[in-house]
Amino acid sequence: MADQAPLSLDYSYLLPEVTPEEIASWQPHVQLAHEQLVKRTGQGADFLGWLEPAAIMPAEQLAAITATAARLREEAEVMVVIGIGGSYLGARTVIEALGAPGEMPVLYAGHTLSADYTAHLLQVLEQKRFCINVVSKSGTTTEPAIAFRLLRDLLIRKVGKEKARELIVATTDPEKGALRGGVKKEGYTSFPIPANVGGRYSVFTAVGMLPIAFAGIDVQAMLDGATACAEGCASPELKANPAYVYAVVRNLLYRKGKTIELLAFFEPRLHYLAEWWKQLYGESEGKSLMGLFPASVEFTTDLHSMGQWIQQGQRTIFETFIDIAGGMPSVTIPTDPENADGLNFIAGKSVDEVNRRAFEGTALAHRDGGVPSMNLTLPELSPKSLGSLLYFFERACGMSGYLLGVNPFNQPGVESYKKNMFALMNKPGFEAQAAEVAAAVQDRQGKHTVMF
Ligand code: PA5
């Protein structure tokens, strides 16, 4: 049995909006949803593979992933991860949180259709020895498919067709899809995305593990952290399960008119954690005209911009703070004999201590201003604690979606823009809608314009 997950949830700052008794009163709903999750009888039950991280990342596959990562590190100085949404955000979250600053051996493509970004990336890669990890479960997503064409062509031009084959690794559906077809035809090394794991729950599959291993981060420790959290959050009892408490609180506050959740943190390295979290909760819960709007703020930076709104704006928000309790480098504030800035009262203290006091002061001020909050504390930023945190959010999201009454494992709404885009580009199969969509765009675009 793994150690207890190194993570704790403090919900003292929810009062008076939410009381511990109110949270406890949701136990019957939680019990029901828990059974639906673990017995796989609820909505989207075919996509619950992520519940057991060790089952979706067996030891022999992890060994093959780390061996491939080691081979690629020998042959390339940079890996380009091609993917979008759940097929890229998990890897980026971990690499940006734990990688050496300024030395990111992983670049990203296929998460945007920006010609500017793409042109710049192609220019940078001209000068680099690079390999490609193309990640797409369906294998047909437009953004990564375009990026793969471009980068594969560049790689072939630089190293030749044979060598390029060795430098491309595909992570995709084990059986079907366009990318699997490419693997069969070209003989690329490949890793499977299990059929029972959706993109945004896939960080502990090869989707996350290969790029993270390439970045030199301990993937086994991450997986251990996830497993520890899975065990620590296995109980249906609210008093023993912080992930379920978090899920209940979100639903309680939502019903009380707090319709926006702010993920707030004081470490810029967590920027992509927030992006991953927004996708996880936004795609999982934003349906049937319901769902909290997940947003994020980076403090103290955003205290000087969004801080005003949070302190005194519309009272429709609550905050979830991510607190990294220790492990920060020691940077001491020097004494200045002239003390012109009046800062000698903190001379000798570390920047991290000031950051901590800022955190405490912020949480208190926001609570006093009518913003309830929770603290999710990690002992330090490490592969193990981050593995635990990611699993914590996945587990809580499954529970939260079921408590809300939606299927947290599908995303039917994301098809709408694609249908219009394909119709506008005359994609085969969309000819019938082409004229209608083009006319609708024509009808609205530029009708009411102000110029100077
Ligand atoms: O969470 C999801 O399912 C989505 O964000 C997908 O990961 C994303 O759309 C990419 O899909 P695919 O892996 O099929 O290219």
For 108-131, how does the pLDDT look when each residue is reduced to its tens digit (9 = 90+)?
A: 999 999 999 999 999 999 999 999
Does the beta carbon of 44 sit less than 6 angstroms from any atom of ligand 1? no
User: What integer pLDDT is reported at residue 6 of this predicted model?
Assistant: 77
Q: What is the pLDDT of residue 444?
A: 85
- Counting from 1 in the atom list of ligand 1, the atom nearest the Cα of 144 is 15
User: Biggest alpha carbon distance in the chain?
Assistant: 77
Residue 60 has pLDDT above 70, yes or no: yes
Choose the residue to mutate in 47, 137, 140, 179 for probing ligand 1, maximizing ligand atoms within 8 Å of C-beta: 137
118: which 2 tokens? 């793409």
pLDDT of residue 447: 82
40: alpha, beta or left, given left = phi > 0 and alpha = psi -120 to 50?
Answer: left
pTM: predicted TM-score of the whole model, two decimal places: 0.96
Whether the pLDDT of residue 65 is over 70: the answer is yes
Amino acid at 111: H
pLDDT recorded at residue 2: 44
pLDDT recorded at residue 276: 98
Name the residue of 47, 108, 141 to mutate for ligand 1: max ligand atoms within 8 A of Cβ.
Answer: 141
Q: Which CATH number fits domain 49-220: 3.40.50.10490, 3.30.200.20, 3.10.400.10, 3.30.70.580?
A: 3.40.50.10490
Every domain of the chain and the residues it spans: 8-44+223-404, 49-220
- Say how many Å lie between the CA of residue 140 and the centre of ligand 1: 10
The mean pLDDT value for 20-36 works out to 98
Q: At 126, which helix (H) or strand (E)?
A: helix 115-126
- Catalytic residue list: 283, 304, 418
CB-CB contact of 358 with 299 (8 Å): yes
Distance CA 121, CA 292 (A): 35
Give the least confident one: 84-88, 103-107, 323-327: 103-107
Q: Ligand 1: does its nearest atom lie under 6 Å from the Cβ of 144?
A: yes
> Which residue from 190, 194, 172, 170 is spatially nearest to 55, judged by alpha carbons?
194
What's the pLDDT tens digit per position in 394-450? 999 999 999 999 999 999 898 889 888 999 888 889 988 888 889 888 888 888 888
Pairing state of beta strands 373-378 and 317-324? parallel
Q: Is 253:318 a contact under the CB 8 Å cutoff?
A: yes
What's at 317, amino acid-wise?
Answer: I
Between CA 94 and CA 273 the distance in angstroms is: 8
Atom of ligand 1 nearest to the CA of 201: 1
- Which tens digit of pLDDT belongs to each residue from 298-310? 999 999 999 999 9
Minimum-distance ligand 1 atom for the alpha carbon of 172: 13
Q: Which of 33-42, 65-74, 337-346, 410-419 has the lowest mean pLDDT?
A: 410-419
Per-residue model confidence (pLDDT) at position 102: 63
Beta carbon of 137 within 6 Å of any ligand 1 atom = yes
**92-101, 270-279, 386-395: the lowest-pLDDT one:** 92-101
Q: Judge whether 8-44+223-404 and 49-220 match in fold.
A: yes
Judge if the beta carbon of residue 207 lies within 6 A of ligand 1.
Answer: no
413: left (phi over 0), alpha (psi -120 to 50) or beta: alpha
State the CATH class of domain 8-44+223-404.
alpha beta
Helix (H) or strand (E) segment spanning residue 295: strand 293-298
